[in-house]
């Protein structure tokens, strides 16, 4: 049966990209977003490899380039703020810890919405209460009271997806990495300069400060903890916890903790990866973080969302029937996702060491890697994870 109508749940990154490419195939798209308006906030995210190629095929590459944050690079600093190792943005061939296309999530969300709002019917401030796969269509009852039917429903509703229950009801999907992170925006100070600065305070605590292209500074605090559930606390409780954990951390943490209370966009999460045996069930499927969140540690979440949405739309648009399309989507994406989610043994301990000796060792190793001869060689030998897929070409019309 020809696919005519699709409901996409979630208007973050994956949702609008999927809408855009489905529209190109003459499929009628509705996007429902729970928030009353676009959630155009969040911190600096990386757009890499095939993800950038999807942005190019969508026609937004030039606009993405015009909005990059233009950080000079990333410096690992000690408690006095002295750089122990510095990597320019083009280190490792532009595919290092900071890549050559860093953009604020909010700017990318705005851009994707602008480029898809005429391609889809957007419903803000609503969400599905029930989604029932009737075999030949999917019946959706919305919180607003509306009831509608669609040929397919796609969950692009992020790491805490509710749609996922319909696809894999019995699988514990999120694999936590025993690490929490908080992102928020604080006032810029001249000392913040043009470099991102990474400070390891020991006991698995890290502060990252990133000057942006809007005259503010983006702060990230992260800490390792095997205790579950901090993400369920209220904002006030999460901020109190951060004060407790970072009380004696040194460097710029006192200022960051002070400014955190006034921050307009405080966001706290338990870092995890989503791993599922299947990404579809009947007429319902998943895309982006809902299906295969790789975690901010991977630097691949946005690229996976773009590439996954592009391939899913391309396969659905080729009108081979949704079952085959979902199977091909999974077969094409699975190796790319597996590779993106791979975390080298000991990598988290290296990035956020516990002991003082661990911090010193980590800085010393980074100092060696930062030498131009070494980073240049690694850049040449390294095969970036973001490039590890050959994007199929999908003709514009079905
Ligand atoms: C507010 C916010 C800030 C973020 N900040 C960062 C950051 O600073 N750094 C980083 O690396 N990653 C961040 N992320 C995650 C990042 O966007 C994703 O890892 C990645 O880009 C994949 O995007 P996605 O579209 O799959 O999911 P997301 O970008 O998470 O989008 C999911 C969307 O679905 C909506 N939604 C959820 N449930 C429902 C429902 N039941 N009905 C309707 N809509 C629903 C959400 O409101 C959201 O708009 C953030 C996500 C959000 C939502």
- Kindly list the domain boundaries of the chain, sorted by start residue: 5-68+105-173+274-343
Nearest alpha carbon, ligand 1 atom 48: 12
For residue 381, name the pLDDT band (cuts at 50, 70, 90). low
Residues with CB under 6 A from ligand 1: 9-15, 32-35, 39, 41-43, 45, 105, 127, 156-158, 162, 183, 267, 288-290, 296, 301-302, 305
For residue 305, name the pLDDT band (cuts at 50, 70, 90). very high
Q: What SS3 state is found at 127?
A: coil
User: For residue 381, how far is its CA from the centre of ligand 1 (angstroms)?
Assistant: 33
Measured from the Cα of 12, ligand 1's closest atom is: 31
> Which of these, 177, 184, 219, lies nearest to 199 by C-alpha position?
219
Most informative mutation of 158, 163, 182 for ligand 1 (most atoms within 8 A of CB): 158
pLDDT digits (tens, 9 = 90+) for 171-200: 778 999 999 999 999 999 989 999 999 999
Q: Determine the average pLDDT of the residues in 199-212.
A: 94
> Does pLDDT of 26 surpass 70?
yes
Residue-wise over 371-380: b if at least 16 C-beta within 10 A, else e? eeeebeeebe
Question: Maximum Cα–Cα distance for the chain, whole Å?
Answer: 65
Most informative mutation of 8, 10, 218, 304 for ligand 1 (most atoms within 8 A of CB): 10
For residue 359, name the pLDDT band (cuts at 50, 70, 90). confident
User: For residue 369, how far is its CA from the centre of ligand 1 (angstroms)?
Assistant: 33
- pLDDT for residue 351: 80
Most informative mutation of 157, 162, 208, 220 for ligand 1 (most atoms within 8 A of CB): 157
pLDDT digits (tens, 9 = 90+) for 141-152: 999 999 999 999
pLDDT digits (tens, 9 = 90+) for 271-283: 999 999 999 999 9
- Percent of the chain exceeding pLDDT 70 equals 94
Nearest alpha carbon, ligand 1 atom 30: 158
User: For residue 107, how far is its CA from the centre of ligand 1 (angstroms)?
Assistant: 13
Q: Residue 339: left (phi > 0), alpha (psi -120 to 50), or beta?
A: alpha
User: For residue 127, how far is its CA from the centre of ligand 1 (angstroms)?
Assistant: 15
For residue 378, name the pLDDT band (cuts at 50, 70, 90). low
- pLDDT for residue 233: 97
Nearest alpha carbon, ligand 1 atom 50: 42
- Percent of the chain exceeding pLDDT 90 equals 71
Nearest alpha carbon, ligand 1 atom 35: 10
CATH number of 5-68+105-173+274-343: 3.50.50.60
Q: Determine the average pLDDT of the residues in 71-100.
A: 79
Q: How far is CA 377 from the centre of its chain?
A: 28
Nearest alpha carbon, ligand 1 atom 38: 157
Structural tokens at position 153: 């429903």
Q: How far is CA 343 from CA 30, 176, 364, in A?
A: 36, 13, 21
- pLDDT for residue 71: 82
Mean pLDDT, the chain, as a whole number? 90
- Of the listed ranges 182-186, 199-203, 369-373, the one predicted with least confidence: 369-373
Q: How far is CA 212 from the centre of its chain?
A: 18
- pLDDT for residue 352: 83
> Does pLDDT of 211 surpass 70?
yes
- Map tokens 């509710």 to a residue: 162
């Amino acid at each position: 049966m020809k696919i005519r109508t699709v409901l996409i749940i979630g208007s973050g990154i994956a949702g609008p990209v999927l809408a855009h490419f489905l529209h190109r195939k003459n499929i009628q798209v509705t996007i429902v977003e729970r928030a009353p308006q676009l959630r155009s906030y969040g911190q600096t995210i990386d757009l890499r490899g095939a993800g950038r190629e999807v942005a190019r095929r969508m026609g937004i590459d030039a606009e993405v380039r015009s909005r990059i944050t233009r950080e000079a690079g990333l410096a690992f600093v000690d408690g006095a703020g002295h750089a122990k190792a510095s990597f320019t943005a083009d280190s490792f061939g532009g595919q290092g810890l900071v890549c050559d296309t860093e953009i604020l999530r909010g700017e990318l969300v705005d851009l994707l919405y602008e480029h898809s709002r005429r391609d889809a019917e957007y419903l803000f401030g609503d969400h599905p209460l029930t989604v029932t796969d009737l075999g030949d269509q999917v019946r959706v009852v919305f919180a607003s009271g509306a009831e509608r039917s669609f040929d397919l429903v796609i969950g692009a509703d992020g790491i805490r997806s509710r749609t996922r229950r319909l696809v894999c009801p019995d699988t514990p999907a999120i694999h936590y990495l025993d690490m929490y992170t908080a992102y928020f925006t604080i006032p810029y100070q001249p000392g913040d300069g043009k470099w991102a600065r990474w400070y390891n305070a020991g006991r698995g605590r890290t502060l990252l400060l990133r000057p942006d292209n809007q005259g503010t500074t983006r702060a990230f605090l992260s800490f390792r903890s095997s205790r579950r559930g901090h993400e369920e606390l209220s904002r006030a409780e999460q901020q109190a916890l951060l004060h407790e954990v970072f009380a004696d951390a040194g460097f710029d943490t006192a200022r960051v903790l002070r400014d955190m209370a006034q921050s307009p966009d405080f966001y706290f999460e338990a870092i995890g990866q989503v791993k599922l045996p299947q990404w579809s069930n009947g007429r319902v499927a998943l895309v982006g973080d809902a299906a295969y969140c790789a975690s901010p540690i991977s630097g691949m979440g946005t690229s996976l969302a773009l590439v996954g949405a592009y391939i899913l739309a391309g396969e659905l648009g080729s009108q081979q029937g949704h079952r085959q399309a979902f199977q091909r989507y999974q077969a094409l994406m699975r190796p790319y996702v597996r590779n993106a989610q791979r975390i080298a043994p000991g990598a988290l301990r290296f990035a956020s060491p516990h002991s003082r000796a661990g911090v010193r060792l980590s800085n010393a190793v980074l100092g060696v890697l930062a030498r131009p001869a070494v980073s240049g060689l690694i850049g040449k030998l390294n095969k970036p994870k973001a490039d590890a897929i050959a994007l199929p070409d999908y003709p514009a019309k079905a």
